[in-house]
Structure 1
Amino acid sequence: MYKIIENTYIGEDMYQMKVQGEFKGRMGQFYMLRAWDNYPTLSRPISIHDIDENSITFLYKVVGEGTKIFSRLTPGDNIKLEGPYGNGYQKVEGKVALVGGGIGVAPLYLVAKNIPNSDSYLGFRNEPILIDKYEEVCNNVKTAVGSTFVTDIINTEEYDYILTCGPTPMMKALMDKVKKTNAEKGTNTRVMVSLENRMACGMGACLVCTCKTQGGNKKTCKDGPVFWGEDVIF
């Protein structure tokens, strides 16, 4: 068990939780979090938002019973963490864009810290959050709010790589745009997507998070959650 040192509401039904301790983890990986004994049955998979020598930080959105319990925790409370799990983003060189939607912005902060001079495109339902934080580690930050889609504000041909996380329709729209632009303009932009499939065990044993790829069915928690976009069948 580890101690919570911060659990703050930041807007858009999202909270920022910081946990004290020495942890390992790479950009795009996740931990399984649990703050109860018997119910709910399953732990919750939460991606790493930030990590340093003394703590790890998560962003989570309240969407069910488990995250509702998380939201009621206060500094000093205990929480169980298991991980890190999964294959995260690869560190790439060239001109890089980060595209996040909703809670999908969470893992991209650690990506931005590890890939200097990247540009961020962040989409939110009602209000932008943590923009000042992303501006500290990104070259440029642009936002889309409400009816404006984040995929509409990026010129994909400007980038060698795009790393994305968010709702499946958003990532599919981004992939469609990249494929179309690559074909029409002769560019070779590549995309890494972090899938948000439901997970149960986090270790690839239960098959709940299976996704379809060009190479057959894959386990999002173990083979991913990050895949090359051209390999995923949306």
Structure 2
Amino acid sequence: MGKVISNERVSEQVYLLKVERNDECRMGQFYMLRAWGNYPLLSRPISIFNKSDEGIEFLIQVVGEGTELLAALRPGDPVTLEGPFGNGFPETQGRVALIGGGIGIAPLYYCAQQIPNADIYLGFSKEPYLLDRFSSVAGNLYTNVGGYIVDDVDFHQYDTILTCGPHGMMRAVQTKQQTTGCLSRVYVSLENRMACGIGACLVCSVSCVDRRKKACTDGPVFAAEEVLFHD
């Protein structure tokens, strides 16, 4: 259980929630959050946006009943957090690019805190948000509104590329890695639906080249070449 410190609206249907919590976390991990009783039935998986001595921040996009309730939280309200879960992003080497699309930008801010001078590429369909926060931790910050942020990245310039975004963007990252013949280590963080967060329910199953894996326990981060993206 945690207590809400703040809950700020940063864009249309997007909120930055800060909760009192002092856990050891790794970049790319997530929590299961809930702020209600028996309904909705399931907690919501939310990646770590940032961790400080004060608490943990989560970037929340309102897409249904659960996230609507999280967005309505006020300072002092209780919220249940289970986690942190997942393997998260690996240690990086050399020049690093962070690529995020939409609400998939969420885990990249904490990554940038851990990786000095990483270049950050953020794609938005509409109004961009939190650019001042990202600019403060980026080597260089590039944004694209209404287009395809993956097109703006020269994969050959980087040794490691960490990405998170919608299914189509992750597939585009994988395709660009394959077609350009770059030697970068490329990792994708998948935004699969989850029910339990601990690998028991199989809701977050991921098709991989060797077998089916679980986004919650095997991931949510995978090497880009490992995943089989289906239409």
Unaligned ranges ≥5, structure 2:
none
* Cross-structure match for 1:35: 35
For the residue of structure 2 that corresponds to 1:122, the secondary structure is strand
Question: How high is the TM-score relative to the length of structure 1?
Answer: 0.96
Distance in 2, matches of 1:42 and 1:24, equals 24
Tell whether the 8 Å contact from 1:23 to 1:53 is kept in structure 2 after alignment.
no
Normalization by structure 2: what TM-score? 0.97
SS in 2 for 1:68: helix
**What are the equivalent positions in structure 2 for 1:107-126 lying under 5 Å apart?**
107-126=107-126
Q: How does 1:126-145 map to 2 (within 5 A)?
A: 126-145=126-145
Q: Which runs of 4+ in 1 moved over 3 A?
A: none
Deviation, structure 1 residue 179: 1.2
Task: Structure 1 unaligned segments of length 5 or more: list them.
Answer: none
The CA distance in 2 between the partners of 1:28 and 1:231, in whole Å, is 17
Aligned pair 1:169/2:168, yes or no?
yes
Q: Residue 56 of structure 1 corresponds to which residue in structure 2? A: 56
Q: CA deviation at 1:162?
A: 0.8
Q: How many residues align?
A: 229
Other structure's SS at 2:75 match: coil
Give the corresponding residue for 1:217.
Answer: 212
Determine the C-alpha separation between the residues in 2 that align with 1:156 and 1:43: 36
- Equivalent of residue 190 in structure 1, options 185, 193, 199: 185
Cα distance in structure 1, aligned partners of 2:44 and 2:133 = 25
CA RMSD of aligned residues (A): 0.9
Tell me how far apart the structure 2 counterparts of residues 84 and 24 of structure 1 sit (CA, whole Å). Answer: 8
CA contact 1:59–1:103 (8 Å) conserved in 2: yes
Tell me by how many angstroms 1:25 deviates.
1.1
Distance in 2 separating the partners of 1:45 and 1:54: 21
The residue that corresponds to 1:160 in the other structure is 159
1:70 lines up with 2:78 in the alignment: no
- Partners of 1:166 and 1:12 in 2: how far apart? 18
- Identity among equivalent positions (%) equals 54
**Amino acid of the structure 2 residue aligned with 1:35:** A
Partner letter of residue 31 of structure 2?
Y
